[in-house]
Amino acid sequence: MDIAFKPYNLMGLSLKNRIVMAPMTRSRALEPGLVPSPSMATYYAQRAGAGLIISEGAQPSPEGQGYTSTPGLHSPEQIQGWRRVTDAVHTAGGRIFAQIMHTGRIGHPDNSSESIIPLGPSAVQPKGRIFTAQGMQDFVVPREMTEADIEKAIQDFAAAARNAIEAGFDGVEIHGANGYLVHQFLSVNANQRTDAWGGSPENRARFAVRVAQAVADAIGPERTGIRLSPGASFNDIEDDPDLLRTYLPLVEKLGSLGLAYLHVIEQAGRQLTQHLRDAWPTTFMLNPDTGMNTPTDDRALRLIKDGSTDLLSFGALFLANPDLPKRLALKGPYNTPDPSSYFGGDDHGYLDYPTLDSQPVHETQPATDSQPVQEAHEAHPEVSPASAATTTFTEPATRSSSLRPSGRPAASAGSADSAGPARRAAPLWGRTLVAGAASAVVNIALYGAGFLSGASMIMASPQPALIPWFAPAVASFLPLAILGVIAWLITRKRPAAKRWFAWAGLAFAVISCASLLSAPDAATGISLAAMHLVAGFAWFIALGGGRKSAA
Ligand SMILES: Cc1cc2nc3c(=O)[nH]c(=O)nc-3n(C[C@H](O)[C@H](O)[C@H](O)COP(=O)(O)O)c2cc1C
């Protein structure tokens, strides 16, 4: 069975497979009160075949709401509404995290019952327009957050996380992506602050880290995940062009909190993904960009097998295919998502996508009595307006179409395989250095001792018979050392190669220990073979070659 469909242990939470439903706003909460509806319970329960569902973004407070009809996580009625959703998912055998989304400067006073002016790190008006009850309107200039606003927003995230657990969610995901509040603080355009919350990468990361810390303190780090989209340009957001300067220290700081997972939307290429994956100590979840053209292409699933990620998330493809894991396992066929019913409206395009077991063929027709299609599209920058006609989903500018008319998912990168308790992996550089050092120390110590004792034996009583095996045994250290230097040089540029070097190190140790069976006596041969195996395993484990999945 493909590793993607094997169970996974997410910090003690058992997932039945490694396919995740990505968070997707559907703007179908009930007024008054923005309460999750009974249809939402059915929608999520239909997709309980996912290893994990991440809910649509839910605002932690009235000022965190940017769009119309998005559900909240801050009132008793909303908690009760979500309880219906989580019960339905759990009854269907699924797991579900709540995504907490504070939209920050992305919003409009007309979208809030209290006419709240959107908040932002700085008073910088985003370019673009937003769907409101009065139609499409320009974004407004946000109100620059005061210290008190910032503290309140952090505490609102923590309170919403507590509410999510009360509502029966298995955990929460902090929305730190796609140009919303957390990402606005990380950015170099929406954040123009000169105090402790802006300027240096460390200051821009402070809000994300404080939010993650507050949520982890509220519900436990093992129930807290975070989503990032380095390089995304959604919602007029601009990251520091040197993405690693912002995101590497951020990920290392977040990693030190012991969170359940990091969820990365792949925007800026596989190399960056790999750097972040290597820097992240627990479960890595990827919303991939493989540039795949057909849904039968299993490049995405291979990313789990090759260790690029532990879990793979799919958005639009999951929206249109309630039984997506089954279809992926069978390599299709896939329903085509209908962008015209993405946001708002009735149950058409929401509850009526068929499964393989139900009647075939979902005709993706434009919504009839649902909310205006094109406007709803433009209302949500996480989806391209152009996609209404083509179903091409063009998230960030750098990410090519992630969904083709055929319903094809954009790529993904996945990693590791097995189930088990979360394992902390050192960053690549650290791991490579540990590998080299471990191999060198073991080899030098063992071969050094062997060399000295062998040499002293030969000196004390010349035994030419020893030389034919003794010399090659010592010399075999040299190739292992050379391999180490080559591995170090190549994996600096191509992190994915580390796995192959791990296996090469192990293979070398096994092969060379076999040659030692020709040693003059069994005891010597076995001890030399053991030395090679110990050295080889140190190399293998330190490079991460034995890792199944981060779990
Ligand atoms: C209708 C729709 C709504 C979305 N809403 C959210 C959201 O609330 N939170 C979020 O983090 N991403 C949201 N996204 C982005 C998806 O989670 C995902 O990153 C994106 O669709 C790319 O993945 P895909 O190619 O598998 O669809 C949304 C995407 C779609 C299609």
Q: Which residue has the tokens 């094109």?
A: 374
Where residue 369 falls (left for φ over 0; alpha for ψ -120 to 50; beta otherwise) is alpha
Supply the residues annotated as catalytic.
180
Instruction: Specify the pLDDT at position 477.
Output: 65
Nearest-CA residue for ligand 1 atom 2 is 24
Nearest-CA residue for ligand 1 atom 22 is 315
**Alpha carbon distance 20, 51 (integer Å):** 6
Q: 220, 261 in Cβ contact below 8 A?
A: no
Nearest-CA residue for ligand 1 atom 3 is 24
Q: 375, 337 in Cβ contact below 8 A?
A: no
Pocket-testing residue among 24, 27, 131, ligand 1, by greatest number of atoms within 8 A of Cβ: 24
381 alpha carbon – ligand 1 mean position (Å) = 10
Residues 6+ away with beta carbon under 8 Å from 361:
354
Q: 15, 95 in Cβ contact below 8 A?
A: yes
Pocket-testing residue among 19, 21, 25, ligand 1, by greatest number of atoms within 8 A of Cβ: 25
24 alpha carbon – ligand 1 mean position (Å) = 5
Q: 308, 316 in Cβ contact below 8 A?
A: no
Helices 498-515 & 428-460, crossing angle to 10 degrees? Answer: 20
SS3 call for 227: strand
Residues 6+ away with beta carbon under 8 Å from 222:
11, 12, 13, 171, 258, 260
* Partners of 15 in beta bridges: 8
Q: 116, 128 in Cβ contact below 8 A?
A: no
**132-176 confidence digits (pLDDT tens):** 989 999 999 999 999 999 999 999 999 999 999 999 999 999 999
384 alpha carbon – ligand 1 mean position (Å) = 11
Q: 83, 91 in Cβ contact below 8 A?
A: no
Cα-atom radius of gyration of the chain, to the nearest Å?
27
Instruction: Specify the pLDDT at position 505.
Output: 73
> Which parts of the chain sit beneath pLDDT 50?
361-379, 381, 384-428, 546-551
Measured from the Cα of 22, ligand 1's closest atom is: 17
H/E element, 494: none
CATH superfamily to which 3-390 belongs = Aldolase class I (3.20.20.70)
Angle at 212 between CA 191 and CA 91, to 5 degrees: 125
Q: 257, 280 in Cβ contact below 8 A?
A: no
Angle at 24 between CA 21 and CA 26, to 5 degrees: 130
Measured from the Cα of 410, ligand 1's closest atom is: 25
Spell out which residues line ligand 1, taking CB within 6 angstroms.
Answer: 22-25, 56-57, 99, 101, 175, 177-178, 227, 265, 287, 314-317, 342, 382-383, 393, 395, 402-403, 409-410
Question: Would you call the peptide bond into 295 cis, given omega within 30 degrees of 0 as the criterion?
Answer: no
This prediction's pTM:
0.73
Instruction: Specify the pLDDT at position 508.
Output: 72
**414-448 confidence digits (pLDDT tens):** 222 223 223 333 444 555 566 667 766 766 676 66
Measured from the Cα of 227, ligand 1's closest atom is: 11
Where residue 135 falls (left for φ over 0; alpha for ψ -120 to 50; beta otherwise) is left
Nearest-CA residue for ligand 1 atom 5 is 24
Residue 377 identity: H
